Amino acid sequence: MARSRADGSLAFVGRTDDQVKIRGNRVELGEIDAALRSYPRVTAAASTTRRTHSGDLRIDGYIVCDGAQPLDPQEVRRFLANTLPGSAVPATITMLKSLPLTVNRKLDRTALPEPELDVATGADTEPRSCTEEAVARAFSDVLGLAAIDMHASFFDLGGDSLTATGVIARLNTDLDVDIGIRDLVDAGSVRALSTFIETHTPHRPRQGRPVPGASESIAVIPLAPQQTHIDRRAQLPLYNLPFTMEITGPFDTSAAAAAFIDVLVRHRSLRTVYPDSPWGPRQVVVDDPSRLQSVLGVAGFDPHAVDEVLAAPFDVRGELPIRATLFEKAPGIHLLACTVHHIAADGWSLRLLAQDFTVAYRARALGSAPGWAEMPLQYADFSVWAAQRPGVPDLDFWSREFEGLAFDTAVETDRPRTASWDFTGDRIDLQLAVDITEGVDRVAHANGTGRFTVLRAGLLVLLARMNGTSDLVIGTPIAGRTDPELEAIVGTFVNTVAIRSDIAAAVTFEDVIAVAHASELRALDHSSVSFETVAAHIDPEPHLGRHPLFQVALSLDVFTDSQIDLGATHVDITPRPLGIAKCDLHFHLVERRDAGGRMIGMDVGIVYPTALFDRDTVRLLGELYDRILRRMITGPGVLWSTPA
């Protein structure tokens, strides 16, 4: 479908046929239907695209066959693999008694039922080798699927460039190999990636993994690389991770106090201080019971006291990096206010704390100690390993990647910058309509990428239009837990990756998405170096009132209702972010999902420094971002430079 421009030329604005795009390959659903009908005993067939559990897209096939004897879906897919390109082979094959039709007796693709399968593809789920078994397990763990077809593409199963980092981390650790995200993208399936791994020669030394108990034989435990840049002195609450737990119903405060100490004992990072020493900053684990008992206070409810618990800064050179107070708001209603210093935890860690506190409280309420399994590692073990790792050559990549870039490129501010940064911030909150989030998924799958890439492409367009520059850098945080054993540890592992994308040669929105996808793969494949190390190497101080490397950040998170039931007691856990701005603009995109895991909307929170921006300016930016995304999904083939 096209529209006529004023000069008589045509502008492509979308498709009205059944053509879709899977990983960059255009596929006609009609061709898939015809291929299905050519299989023996198939009398009618259809196909459609459908989202997986994570909201991503795959092709589902449907057949009607003669007689009562069912057909083997695996054999049907093998037949199709000989006549269709791999991207066009349906991920599932479902047999129906008849195809759904419209009132005009035409195929109604929208009425095709959800495949009733426990696996993602309904095909070959049996690994042929130990390598395939490991790769399939990594796919399954990261994507949350019960079983994986050996021939199905990672992207058809719901993966994207961000989730690919989790697969690569597991495989490099479990199989002691050295592969990158690009290798996964190129291979696609379990079988193809396994073949690549078995024939691949590493191009750099393997890094091994942390050793349990390594810190116990070290006199001076060093800081981990992720901790070295953190200011350990009490000045501003720049590193606070605050949250509250509203507790309704019967609550045993003595059991809660005991459970809190159980959590501190289990996770040594929460009872570690970080003093100076002649050998530099070090970690010292605190075992004094009286100090552990003093962490959790009890008080009558006072909103100002709650704020003090959440927002007071830490001096972790001598102060434990966690603070909590249990407030009684009314009979049967308590509020636990807690904040953890970022030197001891990250966002991932807060989920672990909530889980372990729940286990410990249930046990203590019954008069027993929690019966949890021993921790495989402590954060100090990781610190020793990480501090001893040899340097990696990725700094050469980052030097090439950022060559010639003007690091101060950002949105024009309402007020001039000063030489020093003012962290005082505010936040604008918006919501993306459901039709936009659904459209983002459609465009993502049509372009062979994931939701994050499309959202970042929209932000690139916004920034390019606002400042007239096409060469842009956006920072994004990644989990940084490169070993599955690190996923159970409370500690700080998160890293920030600065992703440079030059969209000067891009003409359409689809071109911008392609540039964004390629730049993500490059950057994520070299994300083992800490952001601070990269910044010090290619953008050294002074920064004169700006953030190093990038001025705009984008993070994509998933929000599921954090609610816990302890018998007759109900607990609601709520993050309580503070008004702190660390860069010009930070776009926090949060997927809202229902209890079944389906995305029901997306929130957009934009954090900004009040010293640089007016509230109305930032709200306008949010509205423009909304319009750009809407324009992108309704006309992915139109010029991105056309105003929304």
- Residues 341-359: tens digit of each pLDDT: 999 999 888 888 988 998 9
> 557 and 453, same structural domain?
yes
Domain residues for the domain of 74 are 2-95
> 238 and 171, same structural domain?
no
> 591 and 447, same structural domain?
yes
Cβ burial of 618 (10 Å; 0-12, 13-18, 19+) is buried
Tally of domains within the chain: 4
Predicted local distance difference test score (pLDDT) of residue 121: 44
Instruction: Give yes or no for a contact between 285 and 224, defined as CB atoms under 8 angstroms apart.
Output: no
| 194 sits in which H/E element | helix 190-199
> Residues of the chain with pLDDT > 90: what percent?
46
pTM of the predicted structure, to 2 decimals: 0.75
Q: Which ranges constitute the DSSP H helices of 301-415?
A: 303-311, 347-365, 379-388, 394-401
Q: Is the peptide bond before 202 cis (omega within 30 degrees of 0)?
A: no
> 272 and 243, same structural domain?
yes
Q: What is the CATH number of the domain that holds 499?
A: 3.30.559.30
Residue 135 has pLDDT above 50, yes or no: yes
Instruction: Give yes or no for a contact between 52 and 441, defined as CB atoms under 8 angstroms apart.
Output: no
Evaluated on CA atoms 505, 510, 516, 517, the torsion sign reads negative
Q: What is the CATH number of the domain that holds 143?
A: 1.10.1200.10
Three-class SS string for 418-442?
Answer: CCCCCCEEEEEEEEECHHHHHHHHH
Predicted local distance difference test score (pLDDT) of residue 175: 85
Q: Is residue 557 part of a domain?
A: yes
Q: pLDDT confidence of 2, banded at 50, 70, 90? A: very low
Cβ burial of 56 (10 Å; 0-12, 13-18, 19+) is buried
Predicted local distance difference test score (pLDDT) of residue 8: 54
Q: Is residue 57 part of a domain?
A: yes
Q: Is residue 110 part of a domain?
A: no
> 231 and 365, same structural domain?
yes
Q: pLDDT confidence of 26, banded at 50, 70, 90? A: low
> 338 and 251, same structural domain?
yes
Q: Is residue 43 part of a domain?
A: yes
Residue 12 has pLDDT above 60, yes or no: no
Query: What confidence tens digit (pLDDT) does each residue in 301-334 have?
Result: 999 999 999 999 999 999 999 999 999 999 999 9
Residue 13 has pLDDT above 60, yes or no: no
Closest CA to 453 of 462, 444, 442: 444
What is the chain's Cα-based Rg?
27
Query: What confidence tens digit (pLDDT) does each residue in 439-454 have?
Result: 888 888 778 788 889 9
What is the rounded average pLDDT for all residues in the chain?
A: 85
Report the alpha-carbon distance of residue 309 to residue 304 in Å, rounded: 9
Q: Is residue 206 part of a domain?
A: no
Instruction: Give yes or no for a contact between 390 and 529, defined as CB atoms under 8 angstroms apart.
Output: no
Strand 57-65 to strand 92-95: parallel, antiparallel, or no bridges (unpaired)? parallel
Predicted local distance difference test score (pLDDT) of residue 156: 66
> 226 and 192, same structural domain?
no
> 272 and 144, same structural domain?
no
Predicted local distance difference test score (pLDDT) of residue 201: 63
> 231 and 187, same structural domain?
no
Q: Is residue 358 part of a domain?
A: yes
Instruction: Give yes or no for a contact between 240 and 350, defined as CB atoms under 8 angstroms apart.
Output: no
> 617 and 527, same structural domain?
yes
> 38 and 75, same structural domain?
yes
Report the alpha-carbon distance of residue 79 to residue 102 in Å, rounded: 30
What's the average model confidence in pLDDT over 398-424?
88
Predicted local distance difference test score (pLDDT) of residue 126: 77
- DSSP class per residue in 81-142: HTTS-GGGS-SEEEE-SS--B-TTS-B-GGGPPPP--SSSSSS----SSHHHHHHHHHHHHH
Domain boundary residue, one of 327, 350, 382? 382
Predicted local distance difference test score (pLDDT) of residue 301: 93
**What's CA 118's distance to the chain center, in Å?**
25
Q: pLDDT confidence of 22, banded at 50, 70, 90? A: low
Report the alpha-carbon distance of residue 202 to residue 217 in Å, rounded: 32
Instruction: Give yes or no for a contact between 478 and 524, defined as CB atoms under 8 angstroms apart.
Output: yes
Q: pLDDT confidence of 465, banded at 50, 70, 90? A: very high
Q: What is the CATH number of the domain that holds 82?
A: 3.30.300.30
Residue 10 has pLDDT above 60, yes or no: no
Predicted local distance difference test score (pLDDT) of residue 599: 64
Straight-line distance from the first to the last Cα atom of the chain, in angstroms, rounded to the nearest whole number: 19
Query: What confidence tens digit (pLDDT) does each residue in 175-212 have?
Result: 888 888 888 877 878 888 888 888 876 655 556 778 88
Residue 241 has pLDDT above 90, yes or no: yes
> Residues of the chain with pLDDT > 70: what percent?
88
